[in-house]
A and B are shown apart, each in its own frame.
Chain A
Amino acid sequence: MIDTTTLWIVIIGLGIGSFSLRFVFLGLIGDRAIPEWILRHLRYTAVAIIPALVAPLVMMPAATQGNFDLPRFSAAAVALIVGYMTKNVLWSMLGGAVTLYPLLYLLG
C-alpha cells in the first residue's frame, strides 16, 4: 500500500519539478543560446530512461514472481516491433494486446 504522505510529496514534487524543466529556458534564460552538447544529451532522455525502466519489467515480471514469462515477453517484443515499423503508438499497443491475451490463454 502506498503511504498517503509519500504519495502527495511525489505528486507535488513531480509537479514542481516537471514545471521547472518546462519553464527553465522559456522563463529564465529567454533566447540566449544553449550549449549544443547539453541539447544533444537531452534529445536522448526519453529513449534512454524508458527502456531502462521497461527492461526489468519485461524480463522479470512481478506478476510471475520475477520469473521469465513467454506471453509477456512476446507481447513486449511485438509491441516494440510494430511500433518501430508503423511509427504508430496505437497499432503498437494493439499488437501487444493481441499477442498477450491468446498466449496467456494458451500457456497460462
Chain B
Amino acid sequence: MRVYEFVMSHQTSPFRLGLSKGLPFILVVLPFAVLFGVVGTEAGLNLFEVLSFSIVVIAGAAQFTAVQLLTENVPTVIVLLSSLAVNLRFAMYSASMAPYFGDLPLWKRASVAYLLVDQAFAISATEFEKQTTWTTNDRLAFYFGAVIVFIPFWYLGTLVGALVGSAIPPEYALDFALPICFLAMIGPALRTMAHVGAAATASVSAMVLTWLPHSLGILGAGLIAMMVGAEIERRMGQRSK
C-alpha cells in the first residue's frame, strides 16, 4: 500500500491521483443518495422534484432536513433557515479552499464552489497540505478528478431511491431511516470533547425547546451548541479540524 501510494504521488498526474482518492467515497455517497430518493418520494415529491433537489443543492443533511420540515408544515422561511444552518459548515470549507484556488478565474472558482461537498473538502484539504509543490492547476485537476468519481453517484442514487421508494411497504419503518442516517454521520464526527459537548448540548437543548413554534427549537439548540463547542475548543486550546 505504501509503495502504491508512493508511485501514485510521484508518477501519476494530479487528476489520476484525484480519481483514486475519490473512488472509495462512492460507497458512502450512494446509500445516502438512495435514502434521500426514498425519503423524498415517501414525503410526496415526484421524480423530477427529488432529482432537482439533489442536483440544485447537493448537500445530503440539508436536503433531509428540508424534506423533514416540509412534511411538518413548518413555515417556508424556517425550513430554509434551519436547512441552511446545517450547511454553515460550507463557509468553513470555502475559507479553507480559498488560499489554494484564489488566483483562478471566477467561473472556475464558482465550479469548485458548486462541487464543494463534505467529501470533496475532506479529500482536498488533506492532500493540498501534503502536496506543497503543486500549482493551482494541479490542485484543480486533482479536485475535479476526486469529485467526478463520486458526485454522479449522488444524482444516480437519488434517482434509484425515487424509483424504488414508493414500492417499499410501511412495515419497513422507513420513517426511521432519516434519524439513523443522521446519527451515522454524527458518530464518526465526534472526534474531540468539543464535538461531543456540542452534540450533547444540541440534543438536550432541542428536547427542552420543543415547545417553541415552527421547530425553531432546532435552530436555537443548534446555535447554543455551536457556541458550546467553540467555547470548549477555546478553553482546551486545541485545533480539531
- Residues of A at under 8 Å CB distance from B? 1-2, 6-15, 17-19, 21-27, 29-31, 34, 37, 39-63, 71-72, 75-76, 79-90, 92-93, 96-97, 100-101, 104
Interface string of B221-241 (1 = CB under 8 A from A): 111111111100110000011
The chain A residue with its CB closest to the CB of B71 is A2
Q: Indicate if the CB atoms of B187 and A84 lie closer than 8 Å.
A: yes
Which of B61, B210, B228 has a CB less than 8 Å from the CB of A50? B61
Which of A15, A87, A90 has a CB less than 8 Å from the CB of B56? A15
Chain B binding surface SS class: helix
CA distance A72 to B58 in the complex (A): 28
- Residues of B at under 8 Å CB distance from A? 27-28, 31, 43-45, 49, 52-53, 56-59, 61-63, 65-66, 68, 70-71, 76, 79-80, 82-95, 97-99, 101-102, 106, 109-110, 112-114, 116, 171, 173, 175-176, 178-190, 194-195, 198-207, 210, 217-219, 221-230, 233-234, 240-241
Q: Indicate if the CB atoms of B43 and A14 lie closer than 8 Å.
A: no
Q: Indicate if the CB atoms of B61 and A46 lie closer than 8 Å.
A: yes
- Chain B residues with CB under 8 Å of A27's CB are 106, 109-110, 113
Q: Indicate if the CB atoms of B91 and A87 lie closer than 8 Å.
A: no
Which of A26, A61, A88 has a CB less than 8 Å from the CB of B175? A61
Q: Indicate if the CB atoms of A56 and B186 lie closer than 8 Å.
A: no
CA distance A71 to B180 in the complex (A): 12
6 pairs from A and B in contact (CB 8 Å cutoff): A42-B91, A47-B195, A52-B202, A52-B222, A54-B182, A83-B184
CA distance A1 to B71 in the complex (A): 7
Q: Indicate if the CB atoms of B56 and A51 lie closer than 8 Å.
A: no
